[in-house]
Amino acid sequence: MSKTRILLTAFALAFIQISLAEEYITDIPLEKVEQAFNKPLPPHPRLFINKNQVSALREKIRTNDKLKAFYDSMLQEADKILERQPVQRVMTGKRLLHVSRECLKRVFMLSTAYLIDGDDKYLKRAEKEMLAAAAFDDWNPAHYLDVAEMTAALAIGYDWLYDGLSEESRQTIRQAIVTKGIEPSFVESSQNWWIKCNMNWNQVCNGGLALGALAIAENDPNLARTIVHRSVNGVQFAMAEYEPDGAYPEGPGYWIYGTSYNVLLFAALDSALGTDFGLSERNGFVKSADYYLHMTGPTGQYFNYPDCGSKGLFIPTIYWFVQKYNKPALSWNQNQFWQKALKDEPLKLLEHRCASLILLWSNVDIEVPKELCWMGRGANPVAVFRSSWTDPDAVYLGIKGGSPGTEHGHMDAGSFVIDAEGVRWAIDFGPENYNKIETLGMDLWNRSQNSDRWKIFRYNNFSHNTLVVNNQQQRVRGMATITHYSDKKEFPHAVIDMTSVYKGQLAKAVRGGALMPAGQIIIQDELQDVNQPATIRWAMATPAEVNIQSGKLALLSLDGKEMLFEILSPDNAKLAVYSTEPRADYDQPNPGTRMVGFEVKLSPDEEMRLAVRLTPAPQKVKLKDHKLVPLASWSQPLEP
């Protein structure tokens, strides 16, 4: 972003956040922070762990087969790092972020290996890594995520390796944390707009700089108090976005990013100061781990909206939630991932740069989640339904509302994903490559209606499992809300009012999604035209082969499995297959995929119902006529 763009974004976000501030943000006075600092600081290490806990951690690893296997894999990776050159200041486009993340991953692994094994080779290599980063001209404050993650890297290494570092190295690392990590955040508003914004930058930057401040607090107590005070107040702006139910507007991928740094902040405050000032008890934040649990389908893939890949990831953050709130079921997906990785690909457990923390936060209890359905309101509302947690062939439906105007938003209001029979049938293509689009000079981060962003196939509604009206895009300022929801096993469902997202295109656009007891999925739309003719395209992206058997019936085939696709309404609809080939040179290819759907025409003011039934493993299900009823009668509406 240019400085002007960043400032404009900051002002816009500040305006949006006024109502959130009134309800969910409370001032934590400086005096309260100073009281926490008045007690003697624990000696190093004090971030996440203390000296007294190290021996217990060694014993925990020795006596737990899963943890020992994890640690052995981590030690192998740490040994490989010994042979590599330290990080270098090599930019990718406008970002140094990949370098900061690599540094954090290396320092975490090496520091953990030293803490557990006590071998000086890990200490010396981590020291070399940190000194290399400290020697950079800067950590790229124009893109402050880069600074925050590098600050976190040096903070953890400095703290965990403190006793083994030379005084000269300590001074160099400490100075880098202050001058290249913390001080630039006070210089220009174009670089610190994230302090009170409402997205992942807020959590990462406030969290990363707080780690730096706590690591060196005895050397610069005034700076440490200032940063902690700023962080615990600033991070509340992002935390307000979890309200009221825990749904994260930027999707599960960015939930990992933002929430992980939120957790690092709280865990460090607890271990260093003995308090996180009550922030970890905020309602939406507590519930957000349930959100993340339900965002993973039976295939192990995410409901990957908006700028989110579908690939699941092993992260330690979940185990902090399990430990903090005593909810073992939250780690169900992570435990499944853990067991599979230990058997097939142990290195997958180390993909997250903070993976080492699993050794501190892991639990041994495994509990099957009880709730098969989940719904979260907020800026990007979402509902998910599944037939089972333990059946690998379970049926899963995720459906969402929201607005293209949210952070990292796509034109995907009304879109859905479907898992069944161990494969994903209805897909989301995920994000484009940020650096590629930026290098072409396109304004990827402008979310106005006519932005370059919406020219990109993966970002507009032409690629998502929703409606296209008269070949037009969804309205950026529109907001699709969940109006009805039920988790009753007889008919779990959600209803989404998308009318404002199609403002000027349709007078009414309401979509319902339901998971039937027999495992069938119903997607039903109720539409009313405005005062001019409209052509509506209903489409679903899929990697399945599509065999159209009649105008209203198709058989989808994928990995030896089958799904029946039926148009229940209207009678005159005719199935078609649409290409997912790139529309322009900047679009990524989407090999092996297509969209299946149909087009209908509406006359001015005409009302119409569209309904599709999807039946996994149709040979196992006795097909019956499905009586269509108005969406308004599916269940009682939600409370405002």
| Gap between the Cα atoms of 468 and 567, Å rounded | 17
Q: What are the C-alpha distances in Å from 623 to residues 231, 597, 614? A: 57, 21, 11
Compute the mean pLDDT over every residue in the chain, rounded to the nearest whole number: 94
Q: What is the pLDDT of residues 458-487, one digit of tens each?
A: 999 999 999 999 999 999 999 999 999 999
Q: What is the pLDDT of residues 563-605, one digit of tens each?
A: 999 999 999 999 999 999 999 999 999 999 999 999 999 999 9
Calculate mean pLDDT across residues 3-16: 39
Calculate mean pLDDT across residues 10-29: 61
The more confidently predicted of residues 14 and 505 is: 505
Calculate mean pLDDT across residues 227-251: 97
Query: Is the pLDDT assigned to residue 190 strictly greater than 90?
Result: no
Q: What is the pLDDT of residues 157-177, one digit of tens each?
A: 999 999 999 999 999 999 999
Q: What is the pLDDT of residues 447-457, one digit of tens each?
A: 999 999 999 99
| Gap between the Cα atoms of 90 and 412, Å rounded | 35
Q: What are phi and psi of 564, to 5 degrees?
A: -95, 130
Quick one: how far is CA 593 from the chain centroid?
24
Calculate mean pLDDT across residues 489-497: 96
- pLDDT score for 15: 42
Is the pTM above the cut of 0.85? yes
Task: Map out the domains of the chain as residue ranges.
Answer: 29-361, 373-621+629-633
- pLDDT score for 1: 38
- pLDDT score for 636: 75
| Gap between the Cα atoms of 242 and 338, Å rounded | 27
pLDDT bracket for residue 22 (50, 70, 90) = low
The residue with tokens 């402050």 is 144
Structural fold of domain 29-361: Glycosyltransferase (1.50.10)
The more confidently predicted of residues 209 and 348 is: 209
The mean-pLDDT minimum among 6-20, 185-199, 282-296, 494-508 falls in 6-20
| Gap between the Cα atoms of 544 and 559, Å rounded | 8
- pLDDT score for 12: 42
DSSP 581-599: S-SSTTSPP-TT-EEEEEE
Report helix, strand or coil for 423. Answer: strand
* Whether 634 contacts 491, CB under 8 Å: yes
Query: Is the pLDDT assigned to residue 365 strictly greater than 90?
Result: no
| Gap between the Cα atoms of 509 and 467, Å rounded | 9
Cα angle 162, 167, 172; round to 5: 90
The mean-pLDDT minimum among 139-153, 232-246, 550-564, 622-636 falls in 622-636
Query: Is the pLDDT assigned to residue 123 strictly greater than 80?
Result: yes
The mean-pLDDT minimum among 19-28, 248-257, 391-400, 431-440 falls in 19-28
Tokens of 23: 């309800």
- pLDDT score for 5: 40
The closest of 174, 226, 221 to 40, measured between CA atoms, is: 221
pLDDT bracket for residue 319 (50, 70, 90) = very high
Query: Is the pLDDT assigned to residue 301 strictly greater than 90?
Result: yes
Structural fold of domain 373-621+629-633: Beta-galactosidase; Chain A, domain 5 (2.70.98)
- pLDDT score for 640: 57
Amino acid identity of residue 282, one-letter, is: R
Calculate mean pLDDT across residues 249-266: 98
Calculate mean pLDDT across residues 605-633: 92
* Whether 181 contacts 140, CB under 8 Å: no
| Gap between the Cα atoms of 281 and 13, Å rounded | 25
- pLDDT score for 622: 81
- pLDDT score for 14: 40
- 241-247-253-258 Cα dihedral, nearest 10 degrees: 30
- pLDDT score for 539: 98
User: Above pLDDT 90, what percent of the chain?
Assistant: 91
